[in-house]
Amino acid sequence: MTSSSTLQHLATPEGRVAYETRGPQDGPLVVLVPGMGDLRSSWRDVAAGLVASGHRVVVTDVRGHGDSDPTFDRHGVTATAEDVSALLDELGAAATRPAVLVGASFAAGAVARVAALEPARVRAVVLVAYAANDAAASPAVRAQVSLLLRRPWGPLAWTWFYRSLLRGRRATWTAQHLRAMRTALRRPGYLEQLRALALALVAGGHETLLERVTCPVLVVTGAQDPETSDPAAAHAAVVATAHRAPVTGLLVPAAGHYPQHQRADVVTAAVLELLAGLPAAADAGQA
């Protein structure tokens, strides 16, 4: 983010969640949430484009990540959805001023859950590299995750894995971003928070409630996302799951699991097109 943004903290029973705000106070509200092991700065280019278009943009760190506290006991889709809901309270989001929620990877499932449970406060959702995390990974995968995310090698192992998901184009600041993640994870408690989240996600059993979402949905998937053997088929399955919503799909060329910073140009344009087609906030609140 930039020096013009304001870093703040949302107090929760388990610790503080960091977030930044940019843009005009009276602009349409957009909340951006990064995925597992990532930093809020992964949205830097998308956020800049939204602010330039007159939106009030709030970018949050996930609990236990970035500038949030490393004190959380619960991790996963439900816990992150609760944090997003509490942040909407903090921001004054309501039927008369609903927010657009944008989430990446597991956090895409978290924002879908908020939209399903609190439809009056959510104008639309954008699901970037959506991961349902409903099925458990194999015992071998869970053991591997547990081993890799330990000290002293954990920070390097995570950024190596993150880099492997960046198939396609890379932002000019990718190397800087990887260094920032390694530095963040070397602080006391933060690698342990990432490990707890990773183990919670691979255990499965998470409920995003995407099938219950009724507001407009934009599904964004990298055409080269290595998280699945067939990104196009996985993308189509997510679109089909949102069967109660007006849904638009975007398969982003030359992007892997992080299209928000690999192809920020494409993602920002698609989000702005979605926002331009939404009814005014007052109309949305009356719907």
The whole-number pLDDT of residue 287 equals: 37
The whole-number pLDDT of residue 284 equals: 47
81: in domain? yes
- Measured distance CA(84)–CA(32) in Å, rounded: 10
Q: Has residue 165 got a pLDDT over 60?
A: yes
- Mean pLDDT over 122-143 rounds to 97
274: in domain? yes
Read off the CATH number of the domain in which 73 is found: 3.40.50.1820
Q: Has residue 83 got a pLDDT over 50?
A: yes
194: in domain? no
Instruction: Return the H-helix or E-strand segment holding 81.
Output: helix 77-91
Q: Quick one: pLDDT band at residue 1, thresholds 50, 70, 90?
A: very low
170: in domain? no
| Structural domain boundaries, residue 65 | 6-134+205-286
Helix (H, G, I), strand (E, B) or coil at 232: helix
Beta strands in 23-107 (DSSP E): 29-33, 56-60, 99-104
Q: Has residue 186 got a pLDDT over 60?
A: yes
Residue in 121, 88, 81, 118 with CA at minimum distance from that of residue 207 = 81
The whole-number pLDDT of residue 280 equals: 78
Number of domains in the chain: 1
- Measured distance CA(87)–CA(92) in Å, rounded: 9
The whole-number pLDDT of residue 5 equals: 77
65: in domain? yes
143: in domain? no
- Mean pLDDT over 156-163 rounds to 98
* Sheet of 217-222, strands arranged across: 6-12, 15-22, 56-60, 29-33, 99-104, 122-128, 217-222, 247-252
The whole-number pLDDT of residue 6 equals: 83
235: in domain? yes
The answer to whether residues 40 and 18 touch, using CB atoms and an 8 Å cutoff, is yes
Q: What is the DSSP letter of 96?
A: T
Q: Has residue 34 got a pLDDT over 70?
A: yes
- Measured distance CA(185)–CA(177) in Å, rounded: 12
Q: What is the mean pLDDT of the chain?
A: 95
- Measured distance CA(6)–CA(245) in Å, rounded: 34
Question: pLDDT tens for residues 211-245?
Answer: 999 999 999 999 999 999 999 999 999 999 999 99
86: in domain? yes
